[in-house]
Amino acid sequence: MQVDLHTHSCYSDGQYSPTELVHRAASAQITHLALTDHDAVLGLAEAMEAAKEQGIAFLTGIEISTAGYRRQHILGYGIDPQNAALLEMCEVFSRRRLQRAERIAALLCAQGLEITLEEVCAEATGQVGRPHFAKVLIAKGAAASVQDAFDRYLSTPELRALPDLKPTAEAAIALIHQAGGIAVLAHPMTLSLDETAFRKHLDMLCACGLNGVEAYYLRHTPQQRQFYAACADERGLCVTAGSDFHGEAVKPDIAMGVAVEESLIAQPQLRFR
């Protein structure tokens, strides 16, 4: 069975509209899909309608970047996209991203690159992120690809040192619960923790109310999948599967869909529509 519970649309840093994303999922014979845009829920209604038309079981979602680790992200599943607290926080996320984008533009200009915030915002349908800077850099001939733009300009120590206000994992989990959803740790391998440190960190997240682990992440090795799934099982957590699909122009090495056993999508915590 092919499922994908971790995808992004143009409402964050993905390549495709929610409708186009769903159509590509249908072409990939995906039966269960979630849209998990970064800090945004604007594309969920469109994706849900397209999924209904394509006969794909759909799960509302969001991916919230949190403080503490460079890539500690919390996925929220089964959220109510109209929840007032969630919508208010998404507005806060949007303002913070715009403020950081202003700082990134200033840093790049100081390096001699002629790039304006207006040019970057013109590339974004929703939240502004570094892939939108990459598009502008490519258009100006300053980079050959998205990866080249990140390697040369958008993932440098100077840029990573810029202020980037994020909620704590505890706050993100609480927000997801308030919106009626379950909270799942995304791509645990990106935390770069050894097994002992990961177990300790997972226990801390469980104390904050974490509900699951994305054990079946596309870039996990078979050994990592087995380890993260076992950690989840030991703690009574659900496990999820996702590719982190953004589109070929953004992440050319990531295809949509993860092969899983049918029992994964039968978990009672995952409430598909």
Which of 116, 133, 160 is at the close of a domain? 160
Looking at the structure, do residues 81 and 195 belong to the same domain, yes or no?
yes
Distance between CA atoms of residues 162 and 19, nearest Å: 34
pLDDT, residue 118, reads: 92
- In this predicted structure, what is the pLDDT of residue 231? 98
Q: For residue 177, give both structure tokens.
A: 């619960």
Residues 210, 260: one domain? yes
Q: Are residues 71 and 179 in the same domain?
A: yes
pLDDT at 165: 84
Last residue of a domain, one of 121, 139, 160: 160
Structural domain containing residue 153: 96-160
The CATH number linked to 118 is 1.10.150.650
What is the domain count for the chain? 2
Tens of pLDDT along the chain (273 residues) come to: 899 999 999 999 999 999 999 999 999 999 999 999 999 999 999 999 999 999 999 999 999 999 988 789 999 999 999 999 999 999 999 899 899 999 999 999 999 998 999 999 998 887 888 989 999 999 999 999 989 999 999 999 988 888 878 999 999 999 999 999 999 999 999 999 999 999 999 999 999 999 999 999 999 999 999 999 999 999 999 999 999 999 998 899 999 999 999 999 999 999 898
| Burial status of residue 112 (CB atoms within 10 A of its CB: 0-12, 13-18, 19 or more) | exposed
Nearest to 220 by CA among 259, 248, 267, 262: 259
pTM (two decimals) = 0.90
Distances (CA, A) of 181 to 61, 105, 271: 8, 35, 9
Closest CA to 41 of 109, 101, 94, 5: 94
Closest CA to 193 of 224, 149, 239: 224
pLDDT value of position 162? 85
Tell me: do 144 and 40 sit in the same domain. Answer: no
| 196 shares its domain with 249 | yes
Same structural domain for residues 80 and 186?
yes
Are residues 237 and 114 located together in one domain of the fold? no
Q: Is residue 272 part of a domain?
A: no
C-alpha torsion angle, residues 141, 162, 210, 201 (rounded to 10) = 110
For position 124, what pLDDT does the model report?
A: 84
- Say how far apart CA 134 and CA 142 lie, in whole Å: 9
CA nearest to 172, candidates 158, 183, 180: 183
Q: Which two tokens stand for residue 15?
A: 């390549």
Of 111, 126, 160, which residue sits at a domain end?
A: 160
pLDDT score of 249: 87
The predicted pLDDT at position 123 comes to 87
Please tell me the distance from the alpha carbon of residue 267 to that of residue 250, in angstroms, as a whole number.
31
Per-residue confidence (pLDDT) for residue 40, from 0 to 100 = 94
Dihedral of CA 201/202/208/212: which sign? positive
Cα separation, 15 vs 28, whole angstroms: 17
What is the predicted pLDDT for the residue at 102?
94
Q: Count CA atoms within 13 Å of residue 198 on its CB side.
A: 20
Count of C-beta atoms within a 10 Å radius of residue 269: 15
Same domain flag for 190 and 150:
no
Instruction: Tell me if residue 247 falls in helix, strand or coil.
Output: coil
- What CATH number is attached to the domain comprising 56? 3.20.20.140
Same domain, 16 and 50: yes
